[in-house]
A and B are shown apart, each in its own frame.
Chain A
Amino acid sequence: MNKFIGKLWLGALAGVLLLSGCVVQPQKDLSAFQAAQIKSILVVPAINRSLDVDAANYFLSTISVPLANRGYYVFPVNTVKRMLDEDGLADSDLVHKADTARLAALFGADAVLYVSINRWDAQYALITTTVTVDFTYTIKDGRSGESLWTDQRVMQYQPDQGRSTGNPLADLIGAAVSAAITKAAPNYLPLTRTANFHTVSTLPLGPFMDIQGQPTRPVAGAVPAATSAPAATTVAPALTPVALASAPATPPAADAFASFRPSMQACRQLLLEKGLQSDCDLNGGGQRPVTLVVGLMSMEDVRSFGQEVVARIANPYCETARKSGGAANLKVVLAKDRQHSLLECSTGAWGPWQAG
């Protein structure tokens, strides 16, 4: 039960962050970044100027996924950290002061991402508590050391504790943040994930991801190994004998599930563009029928944007289902009213709004 509640708070917290994370960014000049033709990015450990000793770890753990999904080769952050440690660069201040071109050359990186965590704190007070996160991101050219792109992201939340605002979402956020703060070990991972995700979304798309969120890199079998590395089949059993050897038994259902991921990604991107809270996700655990769940806050959101959002997602999603010859559903769920409506791709008809 405790675990369940913990999960609730985690989810709730993610909801909070989506709310406060959508900062309107001024249009940036990306020409220098684009001219540099960046393919790979080295992420070095963040400088932590905040009071939370864990902040740098939160950052490092959640930066790879958004950067890779944006189409870049991201050097493995933990491996990089360890290699820097061994080179006597354990201190992030030292790393940030080191010559960018030399640092990039150590790893063969096209660019280096530096992050400074300026603030990361919860200010405790009797009535209200404020959580503030302030990151500065800088990407520098790995050859010239020139700054190609910077972003500063401040997210702040101040819950109104102890009384209901009449708005279930605001109440929820207040409760979630207070819980996160009062717990002995608050989990800020979703907050950092959101900050990183929003920031990285403002980067131009890199070479390894197409606009649908589909990786462009061909499968390994088709890529000639750049060195004398043995073929996958001979390496795999020795690598992790139990796990990799059993891999061919992967049921085809998992692959069917995989083909729907671009739809999910497109759905998330669209919600972000529309400034809508909540998220999209795939349900079904890899089994048919796969269901794409689109969460919207209320019927008002459905009226103002929802129909357009759903229309733009539903067609390609059901097209994927038809191509892969399996059943799939799309479900719109309202957080506020706890109602849902289901589109069965096979019939193309929307079901009525139902409770529960």
Chain B
Amino acid sequence: MNHRILSTACLLALCLGFTGCVHTGGYNWGGYEQSLYTYYKSPNTAPELQKTLEDALNEEIHAGRIAPGLFAELGMLHLDAGRTAEAKQCFEKELQYWPESAVMVSALMKGAHPQKSAGSGGQSK
């Protein structure tokens, strides 16, 4: 019985377990859901979330099908790390792909002051 359970589980894992990394629907979210959750649990995993976002964006940038909000989320991580210039570029990209973000992006740009970059700006790659 146990064997049977495991094999059924195996199949379901095959069918369902991949949904975290395979594209769902029309956009590529990469591992956004899992990485964001992990980030909330352990804020020190910000670099992993950043990598997840960059990977998803890189894969889709040529198809032009950028999921709503992904560029802004990446920008917010840059802002947190003091990388103001990168943050602003991400916010501009969000606006470029999704004009619906205009009001939010304008507020974000006002908040992205250059002096904030003094802290960990050196980490910028």
Tell me the A residues contacting B by CB distance below 8 Å.
Answer: 7-12, 14-15, 18, 39-40, 54, 57-58, 60-62, 64-65, 68-69, 72-80, 82-83, 86, 105-108, 164, 168-169, 171-172, 175-176, 189-190, 193, 208-209, 213-215, 217-223, 225-227, 229-230, 232, 235-236, 238-244, 246-248, 250, 254-255, 258, 261-262, 265, 278-282, 293, 295, 333, 335-336, 338
Contacts and interface: CB of A to CB of B under 8 A. Distances in A.
Contacts of B102: 108, 226-227
Size bin of chain B's contact surface: 35 or more
Interface string B18-48: 1100111111010011101101110000000
Contacts of A338: 7-8, 11
Q: Find the residue from B13, B64, B72, B101 having the highest chain A CB count within 10 A.
A: B13
B32 A65 contact: yes
B13 A11 contact: yes
16 contacts: A8-B10, A11-B9, A11-B12, A12-B9, A69-B26, A79-B72, A79-B108, A108-B100, A108-B102, A172-B5, A172-B12, A213-B26, A215-B27, A220-B96, A235-B92, A258-B23
Given A78-B73, A261-B23, A279-B19, A9 B9 contact: yes
Q: Find the residue from B9, B34, B108 having the highest chain A CB count within 10 A.
A: B9
Interface of B: 1, 4-19, 22-27, 29, 32-34, 36-37, 39-41, 54-55, 57-59, 61-70, 72-73, 75-76, 80, 85-86, 89-90, 92-104, 107-108, 111, 125
A193 B33 contact: yes
Contacts of B108: 79, 83
B25 A209 contact: yes
Contacts of B101: 73, 75, 108
B62 A247 contact: yes
Q: Is the interface of A mostly helix, strand, loop or mixed?
A: helix
B8 A244 contact: no
B17 A14 contact: yes
Contacts of B63: 219, 255, 258
B50 to A, nearest CB: 9
B11 A176 contact: no
A299 B82 CA distance: 57
A58 B10 CA distance: 24
B9 A244 contact: no
B40 to A, nearest CB: 4
Contacts of A169: 8
Q: Which 8 residue pairs of A and B lie closest in terms of their CB atoms, listed nearest first?
A: A219-B64, A108-B103, A11-B13, A76-B69, A11-B17, A69-B25, A295-B15, A229-B92
Given A7-B17, A281-B16, A74 B85 contact: no
Contact of A336 (B8, B16, B64, B85): B8
Given A239-B90, A295-B11, 16 more contacts: A39-B100, A68-B25, A75-B68, A76-B68, A78-B73, A189-B37, A219-B63, A226-B95, A238-B85, A238-B89, A239-B89, A243-B54, A261-B23, A265-B26, A293-B15, A336-B8
